[in-house]
Amino acid sequence: MIKVSQNQIKDAKSFGKFYGHVVSTKTMTYAELCKHMAEHNSVYGEDVCLGVANKLQSCLLEQLLEGKKVQFGDLGTFYLSVKGTGVDKEEDYNIGVCINGLFLRFAPNRQDVNDLSSKTLKKKATLVNVKDLIEPKAKKPGDGEDQGGTDDQGDGPVNNDGGDAPVNP
């Protein structure tokens, strides 16, 4: 679902423009996901799915902390990255001081059956404006044909919740 909001940052070049942002109806818990997996005609129950998922989670973290990237089937690859500050001389670099954060990242697969590139996801998704769910209106000619959007240049993706456009939702 997409929520449209206007950029309210007065100093921004895009002040007053409207952007789309992905909104979620709910955050599915880990246990709910395991229950959902078990409901897909699986011979394994919710408890087995939860056990496998728990082991997968701990092993994934273990391998990442050992310095490995972890490919997660055709979905993509998990890896770690850091954010920090630089120093002028290598001998002045102190990991404890210069590393400000360690982050878990995910790079989606961009090939084969599960191509998770932005372009392919946009084609697969049925994007709905949240406002239309709250205030249904009569369809205008052309509504629904192009369910994706572009940025203000007309060539980029609908702004995702990664915050590509400076908007105050």
Q: What is the pLDDT of residues 15-71, one digit of tens each?
A: 999 888 888 888 888 889 888 988 887 788 888 988 999 999 999 999 999 999 999
- pLDDT of amino acid 55: 94
CA distances to 61, 74, 148 from 50, rounded to whole Å, are 17, 21, 35
Rounded mean pLDDT, 128-139? 72
Residue with tokens 């590139």: 117
Q: What is the DSSP string of 65-76?
A: HTT--EEETTTE
The β-bridge relationship of strands 76-84 and 2-6 is unpaired
Residue 105 has pLDDT above 90, yes or no: yes
Rounded mean pLDDT, 104-110? 87
For the full predicted model, state whether its pTM sits above 0.75. Answer: no
The chain-wide mean pLDDT, for the chain, equals 79
d(CA 166, CA 159): 10
